[in-house]
Amino acid sequence: MRVQAMSSALRATFTLREARALQRLVQAGAAALNHLAPDQSDEIIAMLDIGIHDVATKQADARARKKVKEQRPVFPPMINIDIDGYAISAELGDWVDISTDPDYSVWGAVTPEREAGQHEIRRNAWRVHVLNPDRYGPLHLAYGCTAADSRDEVEELATKLVDGIRRERRAA
């Protein structure tokens, strides 16, 4: 409890427990004095009841917000860059090559089923996607996976992927 003296009154700050104890004390005093209690005791009891309800509601709201925040999914770190007009998106995580062709890689998230297979697994690496600037084509033009979690490696791989796309378009 904190009490602060003002020029014409006292300002008291109570915890929820202290406010409930004070309310019970005022109610017991009013009941003991029966009809001799001043009219203000009813008003004090009512104001304490309102204050206790408000504090309890705010505490419940704070607990609910904290619980929602804890249950909110944690998204992996991402990098979004632009290389020569191509949007590059990279996501950090654990990736497994799920392709059956040894010359072609398809990187997917590591799952227990995929982890048990004979696949290449890269942990704490960046999966890089080159997004199509043309909205009428496929969403991803190329993708790859870095060997480590280096951000510099993301730009190197993205540049290689964009250069490969350009060579394919020139050849076509």
Residue 133: CB partners within 8 Å, gap ≥ 6?
85, 86, 87
Q: Is 24 helix (H, G, I), strand (E, B) or coil?
A: helix
Radius of gyration over alpha carbons of the chain, in Å? 33
Quick one: pLDDT band at residue 49, thresholds 50, 70, 90? Answer: very high
* Whether pLDDT at 77 is above 90: no
pTM over 0.85: no
pLDDT for position 64: 93
Angle at 55 between CA 54 and CA 59, to 5 degrees: 120
What pLDDT score was predicted for residue 104? 82
For residue range 102-131, what is the model confidence (pLDDT) as tens digits?
778 888 888 887 777 767 889 999 999 998
pLDDT confidence of residue 65: 93
In the chain, where do the E strands start and end? Answer: 2-5, 10-13, 78-83, 86-97, 107-109, 121-131, 140-145
Nearest CA among 153, 146, 151, 131 for reference residue 85: 131
Mean pLDDT computed over every residue of the chain: 86
